[in-house]
């Protein structure tokens, strides 16, 4: 685990968050509930504070973890809550193949990782459908056809790093998590990486990591094969891979995530929990995700996904003692995702933090 120099003064939790610009305006901010303890009883207690009353059939959106990954949420942590709610775990297949690239493999991976105590539904197992959306980038969003079977959604996200988004939490789980492979491609479009020759040491990490074998022995990227998943960038130890110039570079990719999340939430009733634990610089899609760079932070929950991600971001930074721990680790700041998400009406970045003791 990396050591961070503490830059913040010795203030209380709310005082430190106020320094980071996260304190709400009076009477306007959504509530984010928080517990520093991470266990099934506390998870149940935090969820209960949300006042969420599921109607109809409940889907619980989680991430089962790629084969080989060990940072994903421990399934047993959720068992008491999910079985009590009679929820069904839902996911969608990946864009890049791997152990979750088709329904049979995805279900097998879920079983192997311990997600066995309630039903599992791969939402795009019978195809995809669209939800109308009007935004800067999209006029519709592509989701798994099975989403229409559910009326209420509990989105439980592992808050951790991401090579192109900076970090991933509730907003990314909505966007990529409910998006069908076509939806994932729409968000990733334009994210073709380039190798900076002056930095490349030809270690081979990128070639071993690429899920579609788009990097040849001379370290050239075949753009006809590349799916823009960002894994090569995440695992380059020499910072020799950058996003190519294109319509989805940097902030535009983050804006696409925010728009997809907004489109997804047009269907059904949603609430959100973030688990800030096992926090590494890579997402749970990575088979060989690095060890956590910081200790666990806690359980956070809100009916507003933007406020929830902002609070999670602030608390990780406070623990690290630096303004943006994820930018420090990944080279990418994910804050623009939340700025844009607020601008399009997905939620608010201001919040009121309430500790559940």
Let me know whether 309 and 279 are in one domain.
yes
**Domain at 305, CATH number:** 3.40.50
| pLDDT value for 28 | 82
Query: For the segment 319-342, what is each residue's pLDDT rounded down to a tens digit?
Result: 999 999 999 999 999 999 999 999
Let me know whether 94 and 225 are in one domain.
no
Let me know whether 167 and 203 are in one domain.
no
Given a contact cutoff of 8 angstroms between Cβ atoms, the answer to whether 46 and 301 are in contact is yes
Let me know whether 65 and 159 are in one domain.
yes
What is the pTM for the complete model shown? 0.81
Let me know whether 227 and 264 are in one domain.
no
The answer as to whether 45 is a domain residue is yes
| pLDDT value for 251 | 85
Integer Cα distance of 47 and 40 in angstroms: 11
Count of positions (residues) in the chain: 357
Integer Cα distance of 171 and 327 in angstroms: 18
| Angular region, 239: left φ>0, alpha ψ -120 to 50, beta rest | left
Let me know whether 124 and 107 are in one domain.
yes
| pLDDT value for 147 | 98
Query: For the segment 205-263, what is each residue's pLDDT rounded down to a tens digit?
Result: 999 988 789 999 999 999 888 866 677 887 788 989 986 544 444 788 899 999 999 99
Average pLDDT, the chain: 89
What confidence tier does 117 reach under pLDDT thresholds 50, 70, 90?
very high
| pLDDT value for 242 | 85
Let me know whether 174 and 293 are in one domain.
yes
In the numeric block, which tokens belong to residue 123?
Answer: 């939402």
Instruction: List the helix and strand counts (H, then E) for the chain.
Output: 12, 14
Mean pLDDT to the nearest integer, 17-36:
66
**Domain at 233, CATH number:** 3.30.70.20
Integer Cα distance of 60 and 77 in angstroms: 14
Integer Cα distance of 225 and 182 in angstroms: 15
From 80-84, 139-143, 187-191, 334-338, the region with the lowest mean pLDDT: 187-191
What is the residue range of 205's domain? 191-245
pLDDT at 20 over 70: no
């Amino acid at each position: 685990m990396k050591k961070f120099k503490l830059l913040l003064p010795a203030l209380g939790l709310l005082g430190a968050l106020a320094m980071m610009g996260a304190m709400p305006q009076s009477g306007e901010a959504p509530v984010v509930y928080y517990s520093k303890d991470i266990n099934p009883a506390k998870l149940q207690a935090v969820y209960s504070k949300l006042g969420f009353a599921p109607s109809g059939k409940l889907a619980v959106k989680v991430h089962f973890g790629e084969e080989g990954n060990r940072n994903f949420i421990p399934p047993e942590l959720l068992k008491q809550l999910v079985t009590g709610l009679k929820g069904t775990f839902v996911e969608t297949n990946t864009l890049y193949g791997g152990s979750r690239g088709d329904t049979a493999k995805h279900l097998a991976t879920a079983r192997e990782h311990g997600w066995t105590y309630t039903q599992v539904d791969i939402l795009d197992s019978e195809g995809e459908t669209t939800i109308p959306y009007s935004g800067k980038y999209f006029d519709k969003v592509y989701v798994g056809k099975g989403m229409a079977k559910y009326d209420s959604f509990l989105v439980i996200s592992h808050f951790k790093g991401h090579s192109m988004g900076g970090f991933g939490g509730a907003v990314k789980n909505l966007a990529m998590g409910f998006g069908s492979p076509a939806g994932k491609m729409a968000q990733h479009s334009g994210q073709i990486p380039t190798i900076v020759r002056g930095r490349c040491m030809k270690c081979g990490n990128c070639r071993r990591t690429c899920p579609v074998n788009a990097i040849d022995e001379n370290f050239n990227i075949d753009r006809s094969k590349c799916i823009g998943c960002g894994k090569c960038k995440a695992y380059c130890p020499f910072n020799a891979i950058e996003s190519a110039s294109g319509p989805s570079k940097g902030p535009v990719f983050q804006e696409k995530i925010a728009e997809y999340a907004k489109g997804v939430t047009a269907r059904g009733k949603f609430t959100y929990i973030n688990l800030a634990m096992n926090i590494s610089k890579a997402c749970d899609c990575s088979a060989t995700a690095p060890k956590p760079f910081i200790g666990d932070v806690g359980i956070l929950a809100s009916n507003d996904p933007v406020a929830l991600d902002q609070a999670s971001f602030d608390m990780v930074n406070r623990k690290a003692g630096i303004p943006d721990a994820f930018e420090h680790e990944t080279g990418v700041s994910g804050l623009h995702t939340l700025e844009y998400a607020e601008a399009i009406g997905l939620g608010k970045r201001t919040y009121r933090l309430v500790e559940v003791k």
